[in-house]
Structure 1
Amino acid sequence: MERKETFIENILMTSMILLFGIVLFVVLKGWIEGRFSSIASLRSYIQEFGLLGPFILTIIQVLQVVLPVLPGFFGCIVGASMYGAMNGFWINYIGISLGSLMAFWLARRYGVSLVKKLISIEKYERFTNWIQTKNSYTFILFLCILLPLAPDDFLCYFSGLISMSFKKFLWIIIFAKPWCILFYCLFFAYFI
Structure 2
Amino acid sequence: MARRWERDMGDEGAPGATVEALPFAGASVAPACGSCPERSASRRRGSRVQVPRTAIVTIAVIAAVVAVVACWKYLPGAYAWLTNPDAVRAFVAEHAVLSRLVLVGINVVQVLLAFLPGEPVELASGYAFGLIEGTALCLAAAAVASSLIYWGVRRWGRRLVGKFFDRSMLDRYEWLRNTRKLELIMLVVFLIPGTPKDFLTYFAGLTRLRFPVVLAIATFGRLPSIVTSTVAAAAFGAGDYGAAVIAVVAAGVLIVAGGFAYRAVERHARA
TM interval, shorter chain, is 0.5 to 0.7
Q: Residue 164 in 1 paired to residue 209 in 2?
A: yes
Does structure 2 conserve the Cα–Cα contact (< 8 Å) formed by 1:77 and 1:184? yes
Match for 2:192: what amino acid? L
Shift of residue 142, structure 1, vs aligned partner: 0.5
TM-score by length of 2: 0.49
Report the counterpart of residue 145 of structure 1 in structure 2. 190
Report the counterpart of residue 185 of structure 1 in structure 2. 230
Taking only aligned residues, the RMSD between alpha carbons, in angstroms, comes to: 2.6
The structure where helix makes up a greater share of residues is 1
CA offsets 1:17-64 (integer angstroms, 9 cap, x no match): xxxxxxxxxxxxxxxx8xxxxxx88x96xx799622221111111111
Match for 2:162: what amino acid? K
Greater RCO, 1 or 2 (C-alpha within 8 Å, sep 6+): 1
CA offsets 1:108-135 (integer angstroms, 9 cap, x no match): 121111111111122222222x324533
Report the counterpart of residue 144 of structure 2 in structure 1. 98
Match for 1:107: what amino acid? V
Distance 2:125 2:131 in 1: 8
Distance 1:132 1:142 in 2: 13
Distance 1:139 1:106 in 2: 23
Report the counterpart of residue 17 of structure 2 in structure 1. none
Distance 2:128 2:181 in 1: 39
Shift of residue 185, structure 1, vs aligned partner: 1.3
Q: How many pairs are equivalent?
A: 150
Distance 1:73 1:90 in 2: 15
Asked which structure has the greater CA Rg, the reply is: 2
Unmatched segments (≥5 aa) in structure 1:
1-32, 34-39
Match for 1:177: what amino acid? R
* Percent identity for Structure 1 against Structure 2: 27
CA offsets 1:82-141 (integer angstroms, 9 cap, x no match): 22111211221111222122212211121111111111122222222x324533332221
1:110 to 156, 160, 176: 156
Report the counterpart of residue 172 of structure 2 in structure 1. 126
Distance 2:219 2:170 in 1: 26
Q: Residue 67 in 1 paired to residue 113 in 2?
A: yes
Shift in CA distance, 54/117, structure 1 to aligned 2, threshold 3 Å: same
More divergent stretch after superposition (62-71 vs 140-149): 140-149
Does structure 2 conserve the Cα–Cα contact (< 8 Å) formed by 1:144 and 1:151? no
1:80 to 87, 102, 126: 126
CA offsets 1:65-93 (integer angstroms, 9 cap, x no match): 11112111110111111221112112211
Shift in CA distance, 152/109, structure 1 to aligned 2, threshold 3 Å: same
Does structure 1 conserve the Cα–Cα contact (< 8 Å) formed by 2:142 and 2:219? no
Does structure 1 conserve the Cα–Cα contact (< 8 Å) formed by 2:201 and 2:218? no
